[in-house]
Amino acid sequence: GESVGLHLPTLSVQEGDNSIINCAYSNSASDYFIWYKQESGKGPQFIIDIRSNMDKRQGQRVTVLLNKTVKHLSLQIAATQPGDSAVYFCAESVPSDDKIIFGKGTRLHILP
Amino acid sequence: DAGVIQSPRHEVTEMGQEVTLRCKPISGHDYLFWYRQTMMRGLELLIYFNNNVPIDDSGMPEDRFSAKMPNASFSTLKIQPSEPRDSAVYFCASSLGPPLPNYGYTFGSGTRLTVV
């Protein structure tokens, strides 16, 4: 199954290794960032978020890093599992704005 | 909690026909968003509502698209007349509040629309 057949950058990672998915965001005024995971046939699902006053935030097996100087966001997944196969989107929001703008996404492929 | 419920899951229609997509947000969520996902453009925000009032419809492609939210538990996205280029997956999402920590979006499973 595909997410509408998106032709996306693909990251292939060996099961058990760590994955790093990168994202360049567009608006220097953005102050809130979110990573979403989209599995085949499903809607995007919230993974982890970070505010612009932080540069790192950790969750369960996931870490988000924020570099505001170069407008770069990354998602690190520790000990990648087959269930991590999905498309991952970064999203950003600016102050006083009620909406989230999504990036293009990266497909994570897990090698056995 | 049943989550955000969209219907139908799949819709195939002929060019020129009217299409209506439906969404039931999570109870108590004040915000409702309609997104479209395509190969070329990824996830695009079409329109969003706050307390049933349309706030920003700048993403609606053209006048053939319209969205309503008659009450807090129901929204529709209508395309009339439909065209093949409208083929996409349409997602509805809801949230308690604006995009701040703890107010993340919850997405439905989407409606895959094919216009032939």
Segment B32-71, tens digit of pLDDT: 999 999 988 889 999 999 999 999 999 998 899 999 999 9
The per-residue pLDDT for A7 is 65
Structure tokens at B19: 């299409």
The answer to whether the CB atoms of A42 and B109 lie below 8 A apart is yes
**pLDDT greater at residue B102 or residue B34:** B34
Structure tokens at B86: 């409208």
Query: Once rounded to an integer, what is the mean pLDDT over residues A26-50?
Result: 92
**CA torsion, points A82, A34, B78, B64, in degrees to nearest 10?**
-120
CB-closest option in A3, A51, A93 to B37: A3
Contacts of A105 (CB under 8 A, 6+ apart): A3, A6, A8, A38, A87, A88, A89, B42, B43
Are A96 and A70 spatial neighbours (Cβ–Cβ below 8 Å)?
no
Strand (E) or helix (H) holding A48: strand A45-51
* Mean pLDDT taken over chain B: 93
Measured distance CA(A109)–CA(A93) in Å, rounded: 28
Contacts of A99 (CB under 8 A, 6+ apart): A93, B33, B45, B48, B56, B99
**pLDDT greater at residue A78 or residue A1:** A78
CB-closest option in B50, B101, B112 to A98: B50
> Taking 80 as the threshold, does the pLDDT of residue B100 lie above it?
no
For A82, list phi and psi in degrees, rounded to 5: -55, -35
Which residues of chain B are within 8 Å of residue A4 when distances are taken between CB atoms? 37-39, 88-89, 112
CB-closest option in B4, B31, B88 to A98: B31
Place of tokens 């969404």: B23
Which residues of chain A are within 8 Å of residue B33 when distances are taken between CB atoms? 99
CA distance to partner chain B, nearest, from residue A50 (Å): 8
- Which residue from A31, A3, A17, A32 is spatially nearest to A76, judged by alpha carbons? A17
Strand (E) or helix (H) holding A105: none
* Mean pLDDT taken over chain A: 90
User: What is the pLDDT confidence band of residue A4, given thresholds at 50, 70 and 90?
Assistant: very low
Percent of chain B with pLDDT over 70: 95
